[in-house]
Amino acid sequence: MAKEVGYGVLGLGVGKSHVNSALKAKGCKFVAICDANEAVLNKVGDEYGIDPRNRYTSFAEMLKREDIDIVSICTPSGMHGDLTIQALRAGKHVLTEKPLEITLDRIDMMNRVAREENRFLGCIFQNRLSPGNRFIKQTLESGRLGRLITGNFHVKWYRTDEYYGKNGGWRGTWAMDGGGAMMNQSVHTVDLMQWLMGPVKSVFAKAGTFNHNIETEDTAVAVVTFENGAIGTLIGTTCAYPGLEVSVQIHGSTGSIYAKNANIELFKVADDDEERSEEARVLEQFGGKKKEQPSGAADPASIPKTGHAGQIQDMIDAVIEGRPPMIQGEEGRPAVEIILALYESAKTGKEVFLPLQS
C-alpha cells in the first residue's frame, strides 16, 4: 500500500480551507484539527465529520500525535513563528499561511530550525499556481517581452470596520498582523511582483489610514525600482468600495501583458502576427471572457481555494517523495522584506534600499 501522510491543521479561520483540501488530497490521512476557540473547533469538526477525539484546543497536545507528519499553521500572522518552530521541534513538517511571519528575524529563525530539524517548511503563496500567472512567468522567462521597463501591481479591495473587529480584532494591528492593507491583503501580490519582475532594489512609499479605525495603514502606494533596472508601482488598499480587482500590468521593450484577477486581458508581443494569432489563443485560454472568477475583493470568504489545494497536495507529495515543497520557507522572506521597506519609507519619507539592515 502507498504511504499515507498524516495531516493536522491549527487555526480554523482560513485553516478551514486547509482542512477541506487535505481531506480531498491523495496520499493523505487527515488526523486532527486544533483551535483555541472551542465553538469554532466543534463547528468545523461537525461540518467535516471529524471525530471529537481528534479535536484539540491545545496545540501542544495535538503535536504529541505520532501519526501527524504535516501541520498547517493558519493562526494570526504574528503567531506563525513560535508555533511553526514548536511544530518543527516536535518533528513535523509545516505549511504556514501567508505571510510566513511579520519580521525578518522570525522568518530566518523558522528557516534555520527547519534545516536543523531536517523538516520541510512551506509557505502559502497560491497565486503562483494560477494558470494565468504561470503563463506570464513563462513568457517573461522566455524573453519575449524584451527588456523589462515597468510593472504595475495594484490591489484595490474593500473591507469594513466589522471585518477588522472580528476574531478578537487582530487584523490591522502591528503586533499580530504586522501591518494592514500591504502585509495582509496585498502580500500575495507583492510576492507575485518580485516573482515576476525579479528582486527589488529600492522602495519609495506613502501610506496612511483613511477609512478604518485601525492601527495600521489601509492604503499604501509605492514606486519600486528593480535590480534589473525596471521601475514600477505598487498599490494596496482596503478602501476601494465596493471591492475591485487585483491588476498586473507589465511592459517590456517588445511586449505588454495585462491581467485582472489572474485572468489575462491583454497580450501583445512584437513577434506575433496575424497568421499565428497567438494573442487570440492566449486570451481564450487564460482570459476572463468565460465566467468572472471569484476574488477576495469585498469578501475574504470568496478568495479561491484551488491554489491552497494545489499547495497542500504538493506538500503531501513532497513528504512522500522526500523532496522540498514547491514554495519553500525561504521564499516567504522577500515579500515581507519589501513590505517592511515600504513601511520604513512611508515613515521616514526616504527611499529605502534592500537588503534591509538588521
Domain boundaries, the chain: 5-126+304-328, 128-302+337-348
| pLDDT at 136 exceeding the cut of 50 | yes
Query: Which among 23, 282, 357, 273 is positioned nearest to 131, based on CA atoms?
Result: 282
CATH topology of domain 5-126+304-328: Rossmann fold (3.40.50)
- Split at pLDDT 50, 70, 90, the class of 358 is low
Peptide bond into 355 cis (omega under 30): yes
Give the separation between CA 126 and CA 201, rounded to whole angstroms.
25
pLDDT at residue 296, rounded to an integer: 77
- Split at pLDDT 50, 70, 90, the class of 10 is very high
Please calculate the CA angle 72-323-183 and round it to the nearest 5 degrees: 40
pLDDT at residue 294, rounded to an integer: 59
- Range in 55-69, 171-185, 264-278 with the lowest mean pLDDT: 264-278
- Range in 110-114, 277-281, 323-327 with the lowest mean pLDDT: 277-281
**Mean pLDDT score of the chain:** 95
Alpha helices (H) in 166-277, listed in sequence order = 187-197
Mean pLDDT to the nearest integer, 107-123? 98
pLDDT in tens, 18-42: 999 999 999 999 999 999 999 999 9
Report the DSSP beta bridge partners of residue 205.
222
- DSSP-derived pairing of the beta strands 148-156 and 93-96: unpaired
167 or 68: whose pLDDT is higher? 68
| pLDDT at 349 exceeding the cut of 90 | yes
pLDDT at residue 306, rounded to an integer: 65
| pLDDT at 206 exceeding the cut of 50 | yes
Query: Do residues 244 and 237 touch, judged by C-beta distance below 8 A?
Result: no
pLDDT at residue 106, rounded to an integer: 98
Give the separation between CA 94 and CA 329, rounded to whole angstroms.
9
pLDDT at residue 1, rounded to an integer: 40
pLDDT at residue 27, rounded to an integer: 98
Taking every pair of Cα atoms in the chain, the longest distance, rounded to a whole number of angstroms, is 64
| pLDDT at 274 exceeding the cut of 90 | no
Joined grid coordinates for residue 138: 513563462
In percent, the amount of the chain with pLDDT more than 90 equals: 90
Dihedral in degrees, nearest 10, Cα atoms 211, 214, 218, 221: 120
pLDDT in tens, 327-337: 999 999 999 99
pLDDT at residue 292, rounded to an integer: 52
Query: Backbone phi, then psi, for 8, in 5-degree steps?
Result: -135, 155
Domains 5-126+304-328 and 128-302+337-348 share a fold: no
Query: Which among 12, 54, 52 is positioned nearest to 29, based on CA atoms?
Result: 54
Report the CATH number of the 128-302+337-348 domain.
3.30.360.10
pLDDT in tens, 286-327: 997 655 555 678 766 656 556 799 999 999 999 999 999 999
Report the DSSP beta bridge partners of residue 248.
153, 259
Which residues are CB-neighbours of 52 under 8 A, at least 6 positions away? 42, 45
Report the DSSP beta bridge partners of residue 56.
34
